[in-house]
A and B are shown apart, each in its own frame.
Chain A
Amino acid sequence: MKKTTLYDVIAPVMIGPSSSHTAGAVRLGLLARNIYKNTPKKVIFKLYNSYAHTGKGHGTEKGLLAGVLGLKVDDRQIKDIFNSDIAKTLEYKFEYCDNFKYHPNAVDMTFIGDNSKMFISGESVGAGEIAIRKINDFTVKLTGKYNTVLIVYKDMPGMLSQVTSTMQYHNINIASLFCDRNAKGKQASMVISVDGELTPDIISTIEEIPNVYFVSYIEKLEN
């Protein structure tokens, strides 16, 4: 069930003109940045459907780029981001396409670094709310509302309980949990959103669990 809070209706303070096409775009960029962690060398944005068609009039491209560069939704630099100095630190490209299988306000972001490449797909679901639906090959659901940990591991019995017991040991309450796998016995992913924060030592304890391949701690968005 969706949980709308007081803050969702009398906030955020944001750069206009559209909560879904501008603020939502900034937040998608910001959350993708939190997932990728480092500053990439290049980002390719592929805008779908309504984002592709009406994005220009709403500053959607500006918002996405500003978010990837770490600007918040209320930052006045968004308006002229293409001419700003911080935009010169990054190579970027926009592509546009129609695909009815995608959400009307969807974007695929490909982050390219020196030795790494990450694919992140997300959508702006309305009123500035967003959801990251895919990271590389894994289906996820990230809203940026909670601190979240993404764990990629070998699909086998007992992995979930090892991770959750670590959290229990540290008195961390799990707000939501989502698991997926690409094939039986191959790679699997879990996305766990928590109340409060996960400290670096909890993250490293999870990293040390046998058959865990990759752990990424994704901090929630501020607003």
Chain B
Amino acid sequence: MTEFFEGLGMSYEWAWTVATLVGILAISLIVMFSVAMVIYVDRKVLGAIMLRRGPNVVGPFGLLQSFADGLKVFLQETIIPSAANKGIFLLAPIITFTVALAAWAVIPFADGVVLADINVGLLYILAISSLGVYGVVMSGWASNSKYPFFSAMRAAAQMISYEVSIGFILVCVVLWAGSFNMTDIVMAQKGHGLGIVNGFFFNPLLFPIFVVFFICALAETARAPFDLTEAESELVAGYQTEYSSMSFALFWLGEYANILLMCSLCTLLFVGGWLPPIEWAPLYYVPGIVWFLLKTFGFFLVFSWIWATVPRYRYDQLMRLGWKVFLPMSLIFVALISGYLMATGHFAK
């Protein structure tokens, strides 16, 4: 895209800046639109599992429900509690939303369709997603109210605990792929399973790690069964309790953008991103972005299936699972996988 703007007579620097800004805008719009549709899907799946209809009034099949909700929320009044710390109270949802969108910069949607193809892509995602906790913690503190504060405490501990395991899991993937660059990681999965199937998913050493990663992704995005930060039976609505109108909607959008990000990470790291599932030439005629979207959507369906199925964890069980089960397990797998790769001479290549 930079060349296009250079063709319009700009210098390289300005062409690059304009192209990047256009890319940022395009990705934000696409992600926001997907979030709206995915919220609809989430509610529809939940409805189907609970033998209800789900949203079905606004638009054909209720497809426009999310947009109607967005419009409604936009017209509502923003209420700021008098005891709240005003600046931080308003900053918190903005941080949640911005951080949720910022991580998308390094996600390759198809071969070469990526805003920033940096060689520390995975670390960038880890760094940005570790900022997500600030939105929750700041909102909980600034609300100056009991339940949001409890929720913030829980969120801080929960996110830090599971980030450690996620870090070790990513180390395993990076060891096998030999790069932190997202595109390289996807390309390393090409023909990974005996030259027939694409994806680390089909690797017996990496499959257990994938399962742990998926559960950690649930915990990191505070989805059921780990939604203790907004456990409605204990904490009213958690850190969002005091929020209304757009500030509430920003939390909501950020949360779903994060869920989509985790789904696309599962896709990119374990099931071969934009590559077709099977190494078979006709499948390559389908555009890569279709495979990417299909796989991401598939993971999202599993997310909402889990939401509708499992009961919530108790807080001490959540901490135990993170520190006493997943952390040792992922550590063992780092040793196991690096040992296997050394023994088979993977790094010599």
Are chains A and B native binding partners rather than an unrelated pairing? no
